[in-house]
Amino acid sequence: MERKRFLKMAGGGAAASFGAFVLAACGGSSGSSTATTAAAPASTTAMHSSASGDLAILNYALTLEYLETEFYDKVVAAKLFKGATGDLVKTFAQQEQEHVDAIKATITKLGGTPSAKPNGKFPVSDANRVAQLAYTVENLGAAAYLGQAARIKSKDVLAAALSIHSIEARHAASLATLVKKPITPDGAFAKPADMQTVLVAVKPFLA
Amino acid sequence: MSTDPQVSPELAGVQVHGITRETFILRGAIAAASVYGAAAVGPFVGNALAATGGGDVAILNYALTLEYLETAFYNVKGRSLKLSGTAKQYAQQFGAEEAQHVAALKATIKKLGGRPVKSPTFVFPATDQRSFLALASTLENLGVSAYNGAAPGIKNPAVLAAAGSIVQVEARHAAAINLLIGDSPTPDGGFDKTKTMSQVLAAAKPLIMT
């Protein structure tokens, strides 16, 4: 139900097929040249850059979501948290997986190729350190989505991104209460992080 | 023109380029009518349209109305009740943050050549800490759905960035309050749901006296 709603938000049938045409006309987002000699309509260049721009953003989001799922899966497997906290961590793990599934499906629907799942490495030793790391990761995720919001061209993709952005914020705030860190570390206005900043920040977690 | 230090960096970047105020308002009115339709225009948007002409300014005035509501709730209602512990701490902190949202939205509206709506008078049916927190949860989660619903309609990228920076904070508030009262911090599951302006204003209506 959730995934269907996300897909609905991120591009209806007509848009998806036009996007697929545009990408085929431009040689595809992966760079491989599937032969097409069809003359592209005048608007294609603009559409191509906006479609491929949104796809690049979606693949960036997918990479981050992959890392989050890998992290949470390790944490759940390590059985570091019990009771209500344990349930919360399991719920967050499931929700990040839903994000992965939905973003992959959206990319595919829009005619793009989902990024490969990266190999992550996360220190998963004691509960407190893990909770702190989760807090850091969720704050980063929220800042990453916020940093892309104004760059997204499609209103449907934007709506979908915003529906995830606020979930990452909820996760971060929940973990804040756990580790006794600020619920709003940036105060009244959350700060965005650009793609470069985020990718540098997650580098230590890429194997 | 405002050098209000409370204005966030994103809002400071908002500019209106190269058109007269009259053209801006006319375009805004046409945009608002096509986006919202006559039926969706409640009293507050009506005020906003009268004050400003529609478009991004109408959306900002809608957001401002909700921020007035949250500020009054935390800072007036919250102070009138005997709150204690984490509830008191949240009311103080979140109230201060909502007040910053009010200031920033007013400054942005003015910067765009619009007129900020005045704060309505509110009535909050909360009599103790428990009912206060229950209403806090309702209001914060309503705010998230309102901002997420309105944001895709924003034209100016700087205004959109600002709305995003505010909705993230509302979502943080919502999660913290929900956990405090023993509710899920993610009541909609993995994807936050949106509400339309008319849905939000209908939900807020019982709290508004004038």
When pLDDT is cut at 50, 70 and 90, the band that residue A14 belongs to is very low
Q: Please state, in angstroms and rounded to a whole number, the distance separating the CA atoms of residues A128 and A180.
A: 11
Put simply, whether A194 touches B (Cβ < 8 Å) is no
Angle, nearest 10°, between helix axes A155-179 and A127-149? 150
Cβ within 8 Å of A, B 49-108? 93, 96-98, 100-101, 104
Window 34-93 of A: residues touching B by CB (8 A cutoff) are 88, 91
Cα separation, B105 vs B203, in Å, equals: 22
pLDDT-derived band at B14, boundaries 50, 70, 90: low
As beta bridge partners, residue A206 has: A120
Q: A128, A179 in Cβ contact below 8 A? A: yes
Asked if the Cβ–Cβ distance from B167 to A172 is below 8 Å, we say no
Domain tally, chain A: 1
Of A91, A98, A165, the CB nearest to B168: A165
- Cα separation values, B119 from A20, A124, B45, B67, B195, Å: 48, 50, 13, 9, 22
Q: What is the pTM of this model?
A: 0.80
Residue-range definition of the domain harbouring residue A79: 3-205
Predicted local distance difference test score (pLDDT) of residue B210 = 81
Do residue A192 and residue B164 have CB atoms under 8 angstroms apart? yes
The Cα of A39 is separated from the nearest Cα of chain B by a number of Å equal to 32
Q: What is the 3-state secondary structure (H, E, C) of A156-200?
A: HHHHHHHHHHHHHHHHHHHHHHHHCCCCCCCCCCCCCCCHHHHHH
Q: Please indicate if any CB of chain A lies within 8 Å of the CB of B164.
A: yes
- Give the pLDDT band of residue A2 (cuts 50, 70, 90): low
Q: Confidence class of residue A1 from pLDDT cuts 50, 70 and 90?
A: low
Q: What is the number of CB-based contacts under 8 A between chain A and chain B? A: 144
Q: In the predicted model, is pLDDT for residue A59 greater than 80?
A: yes
Tens digits of residue pLDDT in A116-169: 999 999 998 899 999 999 999 999 999 999 999 999 999 999 999 999 999 999
The pLDDT of residue A4 is above 70: no
- pLDDT tens-digit profile of A161-191? 999 999 999 999 999 999 999 999 999 999 9
- Kindly report the CATH number assigned to the domain that includes residue A79: 1.20.1260.10
pLDDT digits (tens, 9 = 90+) for B23-43: 444 344 444 433 443 333 344
